[in-house]
């Protein structure tokens, strides 16, 4: 198997792991608070990550950091994003919440232009605009008319999913800044460790003693989340990010299947249509970035070959 095919396979398996994790989280959060679920996801997610780092011979050297405050900032934003996400899936069917979460990369393009001052050309801006139309289609399913925009649990879930997507995009920008000096293992480890600690902020707001079944589901969810993180990280060792990124959207397929099998949920036409628009725009953004990267590389190579 070629390295690229290996990378794609690892990415696909990671989407399965994340889909299973999310399904278990939704099952548990009907009885366990989202903040408590966040603790289990973060704490037990560390285990596969540590095993991975040890297997590479990078532990504990990979945890050294030059930017501790950068990790704190990334961890706070990422943890709040995950908390909002777990709250959202407790209110919404998984396909609906997942479709809204796909707006994250669209917000990421906007933030990359505003914060990182990256040059975003008209084609990508057009794709982002079309993608947001798809998000609005999905959101229209959660809102019963203009008068009900702030009423009902589905509207609350939609707002939380959207907040999670925005914060996730902020976290992604922070990660891009950290990768200039920090090891990937350190970024993941400190995020999960911080999430385990920060989750205790929600302790006064109703943590419960979970049943054996709920505790088992939450532990397994954390382990699957960690395994998914490791597989995703490994996938980028074998293939370029621009090749791997579009396969994020395969996650919707597993979510739809698991949501139907476990909860009996069937996505509506609006959710499917909106998801298709968002996914298509996201794939176009990735394709466009890859295309521009190839053109820039060719331009640099040509410049280097030109005699002075």
What pLDDT was estimated at residue 125? 82
Q: For residue 241, what pLDDT band results from cuts at 50, 70 and 90?
A: low
What pLDDT was estimated at residue 150? 42
What pLDDT was estimated at residue 138? 84
What pLDDT was estimated at residue 148? 46
Q: What is the CA radius of gyration of the chain?
A: 20
**CA distance linking residue 26 with residue 262, whole number of Å:** 10
Q: For residue 301, what pLDDT band results from cuts at 50, 70 and 90?
A: low
Domain boundaries, position 90: 3-305
Cα torsion 162, 163, 169, 171 to 10°: value is -150
pTM tops 0.85, yes or no: no
**CA distance linking residue 131 with residue 134, whole number of Å:** 5
pLDDT digits (tens, 9 = 90+) for 194-203: 999 999 999 9
Q: Taking 50 as the threshold, does the pLDDT of residue 192 lie above it?
A: yes
Q: For residue 13, what pLDDT band results from cuts at 50, 70 and 90?
A: very high
What pLDDT was estimated at residue 160? 93
Alpha-carbon separation of residue 42 from 65, 124, 137 (angstroms): 20, 34, 32
Task: Give the pair of three-digit tokens for residue 140.
Answer: 């229209």
Chain centroid to CA 62: how far?
23
Alpha-carbon separation of residue 275 from 59, 102, 188, 281 (angstroms): 40, 8, 28, 10
- Minimum mean pLDDT among 96-105, 136-145, 211-220, 295-304: which range? 295-304
Secondary structure tally for the chain: helices H, strands E:
12, 0
Chain centroid to CA 4: how far?
22
How far is the first Cα of the chain from the last one, in angstroms, to the nearest whole number?
A: 43
Q: For residue 145, what pLDDT band results from cuts at 50, 70 and 90?
A: very low
pLDDT, mean over the chain? 84
DSSP conformation class of 239: S
Length of the chain: 308
pLDDT digits (tens, 9 = 90+) for 69-80: 888 888 899 999
Percentage of residues of the chain with pLDDT beyond 90: 33
Q: What is the arithmetic mean of pLDDT over 296-300?
A: 58
Q: Taking 50 as the threshold, does the pLDDT of residue 66 lie above it?
A: yes
Nearest Cα to 152, choosing from 144, 160, 140? 144
Cα torsion 182, 16, 83, 97 to 10°: value is 130
Count of structural domains within the chain: 1
């Amino acid at each position: 198997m070629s390295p690229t095919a290996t990378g794609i396979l690892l990415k696909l398996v990671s989407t399965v792991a994340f889909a299973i994790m999310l399904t278990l989280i939704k099952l548990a959060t009907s009885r366990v608070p989202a903040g408590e679920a966040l603790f289990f996801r973060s704490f037990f997610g560390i285990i596969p990550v540590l095993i991975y780092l040890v297997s590479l011979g990078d532990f504990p050297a990979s945890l050294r950091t030059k930017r501790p405050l950068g990790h704190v900032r990334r961890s706070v934003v990422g943890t709040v994003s995950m908390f909002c996400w777990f709250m959202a899936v407790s209110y919404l069917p998984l396909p609906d919440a997942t479709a809204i979460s796909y707006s994250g990369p669209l917000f990421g393009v906007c933030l990359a232009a505003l914060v990182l001052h990256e040059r975003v050309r008209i084609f990508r801006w057009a794709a982002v605009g079309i993608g947001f139309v798809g998000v609005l289609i999905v959101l229209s399913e959660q809102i019963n008319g203009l008068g009900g925009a702030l009423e009902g649990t589905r509207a609350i879930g939609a707002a939380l999913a959207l907040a999670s997507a925005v914060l996730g995009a902020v976290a992604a920008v922070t990660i891009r800044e950290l990768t200039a000096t920090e090891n990937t293992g350190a970024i993941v480890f400190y995020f999960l460790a911080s999430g385990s600690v920060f989750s205790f902020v929600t302790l006064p707001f109703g943590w419960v003693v979970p049943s054996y079944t709920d505790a088992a589901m939450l532990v397994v969810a954390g382990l699957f989340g960690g395994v998914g993180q490791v597989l995703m990280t490994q996938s980028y060792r074998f293939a370029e990010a621009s090749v791997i990124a579009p396969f994020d959207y395969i996650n919707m397929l597993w979510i739809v299947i698991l949501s139907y099998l476990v909860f009996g949920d069937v996505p509506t036409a609006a959710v499917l249509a909106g998801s298709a628009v968002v996914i298509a725009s996201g794939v176009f953004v990735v394709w466009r970035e890859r295309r521009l990267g190839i053109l820039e590389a060719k331009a640099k190579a040509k410049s280097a070959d030109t005699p002075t």
